[in-house]
């Protein structure tokens, strides 16, 4: 029995030139469960959305690269992600969920497999992490060139930021911190998020615009927040679709619409290239360095 709706094929035509080597910096793979079983302690059960489905989504959107973020439904078993990375011929990278007792040898193996960060969940429905867990993991991965990925909400974000700034590694805030848009652009949490422009190790994903807008397409309530983040720290902003959109409010988003929203919010082609190509290249260390430009 699934408790998440399946991803939809995008129907909205992309209305700008997607740069060559553009990256979806936040997406997932689910299964296929027959080959990669879900964790028995998962908090949700999604329908399959494996490598082949992701690869088709990427091709439809004109995207080449992707960063696969380990979902709760697979727990600490990284097999689905590492398999997808291996099949991608160097174009995918991953962010892991890892137990505190992960060994040095395991970290090195994951690094070779294309993992570039460790994620911690602080949102209400995925609680369990502590800032002490984050700090301990940051020390373990500091010499690997990895980062810490934080899935927080408005309440937990304000509590976490002072300690995140002390970490010895970069940190990435997922989904614009899932701030409450009802508090406006000058709300306390969003103001704190924008202050990260002064913290050179901080990155923000302008993903999850549908979540900020309560699932009401075309997600207008989130557009100004995306624009404010891009304006504040373009050199450390990433874009992601969150495909295949687990546990969303409202209808499952059209990924073509999500990419077009980014294109409309970020109108400058050079800036789009920076956020879609250059920034992911720097943080996730993709293997090839093909010249960038408009996709054919």
| 23 and 203 Cβ atoms separated by less than 8 Å | no
Nearest to 286 by CA among 84, 88, 62: 88
Helix (H, G, I), strand (E, B) or coil at 29: coil
| 119 and 151 Cβ atoms separated by less than 8 Å | yes
DSSP per position, 45-107:
-PPPB-HHHHHHHHHHHT--EEEEEPPGGGTT--HHHHHHHHHTTT-EEEEE---TT--HHHH
Catalytic annotation present for 288? no
| 22 and 74 Cβ atoms separated by less than 8 Å | no
Catalytic residue among 242, 251, 254, 278: 242
Strands of the chain, DSSP E:
23-27, 65-69, 92-96, 115-121, 147-151, 171-173, 202-205, 237-238
Rounded Cα distance between 144 and 161, Å, is 23
Tokens of 100: 């505190």
Helix (H, G, I), strand (E, B) or coil at 177: helix
Reading phi first (left if > 0) and then psi (alpha if -120 to 50, else beta), residue 219 is in left
The residues annotated as belonging to the active site are 242
């Amino acid at each position: 029995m699934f408790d998440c709706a399946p991803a939809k094929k995008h129907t909205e035509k992309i209305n700008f030139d997607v740069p060559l080597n553009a990256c979806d910096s936040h997406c997932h793979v689910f299964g296929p469960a027959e080959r990669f079983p879900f964790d028995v302690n998962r908090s949700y059960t999604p329908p399959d959305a494996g490598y082949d489905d992701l690869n088709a989504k990427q091709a439809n959107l004109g995207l080449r690269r992707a960063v696969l973020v380990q979902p709760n439904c697979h727990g600490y078993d990284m097999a689905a992600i590492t398999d997808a990375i291996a099949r991608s011929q160097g174009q995918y990278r991953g962010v892991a969920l890892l137990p505190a007792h992960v060994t040095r040898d395991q970290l090195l193996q994951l690094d070779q497999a294309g993992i570039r960060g460790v994620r911690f969940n602080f949102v209400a429905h995925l609680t369990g992490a502590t800032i002490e867990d984050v700090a301990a993991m940051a020390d373990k991965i500091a010499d690997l060139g990895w980062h810490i990925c934080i899935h927080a909400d408005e309440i937990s974000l304000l509590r976490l930021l002072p300690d995140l700034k002390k970490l010895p590694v970069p940190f990435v805030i997922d989904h614009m911190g899932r701030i409450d848009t009802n508090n406006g652009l000058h709300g306390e949490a969003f103001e704190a998020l924008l202050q990260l422009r002064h913290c050179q190790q901080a990155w923000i994903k302008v993903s999850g615009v549908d979540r900020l807008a309560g699932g009401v397409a075309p997600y207008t309530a989130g557009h100004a927040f995306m624009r404010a983040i891009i304006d504040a720290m373009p050199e450390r902003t990433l874009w992601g679709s969150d495909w295949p959109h687990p546990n969303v409010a409202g209808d499952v988003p059209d990924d073509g619409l999500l990419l077009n929203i980014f294109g409309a919010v970020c109108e400058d082609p050079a800036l789009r290239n920076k956020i879609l190509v250059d920034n992911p290249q720097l943080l996730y260390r993709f293997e090839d360095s093909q010249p960038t430009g408009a996709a054919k």
